Structure formats: C-alpha cells, structure tokens
Amino acid sequence: MAALLAERGVRLVLLVPGGMALPPLAGEVEVREERRSSEGALRRLHFDQVVLPWRLRGRSDAAVYGSGSHVPLGGAARRVALLRNAIYFDPAFLLRETPLRRARWVLEGGLIAAAAARCARVLYPTRAMQDLVEARHPALRGRGAVAPYGISAAFLEAGPLPPPPPRPDGRATFLCVMNYTLQKNLGLVLAALAAAKGERLPVRVIVTSDLRSGPAACFAADRAAVERHDLVGTGHLVPAGAKHGADLLAAYREADAVLFPSFCESFGHPLVEAMALGRPVLASDLPFAREACGPHAHYFDPWRPEGLLEAWRRWPGISRSLPPADRGALAARFSWRGHAERVVDALLGTEAA
C-alpha cells in the first residue's frame, strides 16, 4: 500500500504503539511511535476518538484508514474503514457469548457502525461480511465495497501438495487452523470426535492451539468433553499449538484435509490457503465459506455435529468428489496487491464508477 501511495505522490504515516516491534518497512513509510498506547478497549477508544482527531485537526488534505474496524467519529480528514471482525455484528455469535462480553461487543459494534456511517467508504473482506453488517446497521448501505484479502506467496509457491503418506493406524488427518476463540466452534468438533470414537471411525483432528485456556463461554464445557472422552489420550484430538510460517506449511502437508467449522467469520484465511495448497476442505455451510470456496469444499451444518460425523463416514469418497481450484484464478481473486489497490482507491476517492 505504501508503494502504491508513493506512486501517486501521497505519503503514508503509520502510527504504532510505543515499543512495538515492526519488520523492515519501505522507505516511503513514516513511522511515528504513539506513546499513549491503544492496547485495551478504553485506551483504544481514547486513541481513536480523542488523540487521532486532535492530531488531524484542520487537515482536510489527509485521509485516515482504520484497518481494524475503528475510525474517528469526527474530523475533517477523509475516513475509510475496513470492517474485518464479524463478532460485533453476528447474532449467532452474540447469543452464545457471556452476558458481560456480549454487552461489550454490542456497545463497541454500535460505536464502530456510527463512525463507519461517517466514512467516505467502508470496506469489507467478503460480501458475506458486508451483508452481515448492513443487516444490523442499515445506515451503512451504499457506502460499502468488497476488498478481498490475499493469499501469501508462500502458499501459492508450495502448492499443490502431494497427498500425505498413509498413517500406520490408517486415520485420516484433518487440520483445523484456529486460535481458540468462541466462534471457532471447537465444541462441535469435540462432539463429532466423541461420536467418531464410539463408531471407531479412523479420524483425528489437529488444532493449532494448546487448548490450555479459552473463551469463558465454552472453555469449561470443551475441557470436560476432552477429558470425558479421552480425546487427546486416544489420538483423536491433537493440540499442536500455534503454527506460523514453515511450521504451518508443514502442518498442511501432514493433513489429508482442512477442517473449518467456524460459525462466525469475516473471511477465513485457512479456506483460501487450503485451496491454494490443493487440500480438500470441510467447511461450515455459511455464506462466508461458500463465497470463498464455491464448489471446492464440502459443507456441513455448523450447529449439528452429526453433519461433520456424516462427512467423516463418507471419507475419502468426499475428497475424491471435490474439484480442485484453479490456482491462477485463486491468485488473481485473492491478491494482496489487489486488496491494497482497493484501499488506496478508497482513500484517494479514485474508485471506478
């Protein structure tokens, strides 16, 4: 994005919290350290609605990009927001949260929507996310555009992966790339694994979390299910811990397929990563997943463990029935440069009619 702005004679200023470590950045970027950190809800609110407007007072030649959903409510600068977190707007998620956290997300979502309604443009990573937000906040209709995220070059260069060698125990391995949050729907996976264990289905699920701590709304129940059915001890569940870079690619290589059971998402990076690597996908039958994968995934009801269990019963037949995605089309559709171009056009008001 910095290079694209520089090509158009525009300087990018990046405000970062004090002490934040950054990778090397292009020379066109000016980094300013913000001593008043935005970590935490109250500090973030103060930074977005007090500090930033004060710094930009009278600057009608400036544009503000909120890449984490938050932008100032007021100010002379042109404002563009990327709404990228669905938890503030999804009734299915909010109903399952604890009351205090639900109240926080609703209040924060209302503030985000109020600020976005004053933006020149509101961007979303998927049409599904745009529909979700606009259904809850109709005032945002007419301001939105979709700017899909990209696929890392590492996944495009690594794929398509060959099938992993058969395991000695004959189990099919399903990789669930997740940080342990409520919307990742681990409880459904655990219920399906318990039933699969009872039927002696040869499956295991690797999750990229250590599962030592988790969301208040479901952690105790999830922990009890793991222990009651001895899912880790019997090898049905493998808490592999966080994976990044080469370690994440290695996890994909080990898997027969990718499992994505989330009931609330704005995009779903593992979906496009799996398609780029040529791995079959089992995904929640929800708009965000169907938008990303189309015919290249098998879908199941994210509210019924029986749907996932039935897919495992039919494995590997399902795998053979899924058409591979065209990697060239994936690279064109999910391009980080394309995403950056949409953001820059929104910031400068140069979008095509």
pTM of the complete model: 0.92
The answer to whether 147 touches 267, Cβ cutoff 8 Å, is no
Which CATH code, of 3.30.460.80, 3.40.50.2000, 1.10.357.10, 3.40.50.80, is assigned to 153-333?
3.40.50.2000
247-306 per-position pLDDT tens digit: 999 999 999 999 999 999 999 999 999 999 999 999 999 999 999 999 999 999 999 999
Distance CA 344, CA 340 (A): 6
Q: Is the peptide bond before 316 cis (omega within 30 degrees of 0)?
A: yes
Q: Which sequence spans correspond to the domains of the chain?
A: 2-150+335-348, 153-333
Task: Identify the DSSP state of 165.
Answer: P
Sign of CA dihedral 351, 150, 22, 116: positive
Task: Identify the DSSP state of 172.
Answer: E
Distance CA 330, CA 313 (A): 30
Q: Is the CATH number 3.30.470.20 carried by domain 2-150+335-348?
A: no
90-106 per-position pLDDT tens digit: 999 999 999 999 999 99
The length of the chain, given as a count of residues:
353
Degrees (nearest 5) of the Cα angle 89, 91, 93? Answer: 90
Residue 11 confidence (pLDDT): 79
The two tokens of residue 62 are 């400036």
Query: Facing residues of 22 across strands?
Result: none
Do the domains 153-333 and 2-150+335-348 match in fold?
yes
The answer to whether 279 touches 263, Cβ cutoff 8 Å, is no
Q: 273 φ, ψ to 5°? A: -65, -45
Degrees (nearest 5) of the Cα angle 182, 236, 274? Answer: 65
5-32 per-position pLDDT tens digit: 888 888 787 777 666 666 666 667 777 7
**Following DSSP, what letter does each residue of 21-76 receive, concatenated?**
------TTEEEEEESS---SHHHHHHIIIIIHHHHTTT-TT-EEEETTS---SS-S
The two tokens of residue 290 are 């169907």
Residue 37 confidence (pLDDT): 56
Residues (pLDDT < 70) of the chain are 17-27, 34-40, 353
**Following DSSP, what letter does each residue of 284-332 receive, concatenated?**
ESSHHHHHHHGGGSEEE-TT-HHHHHHHHHTTTHHHHHSPPP-HHHHHH
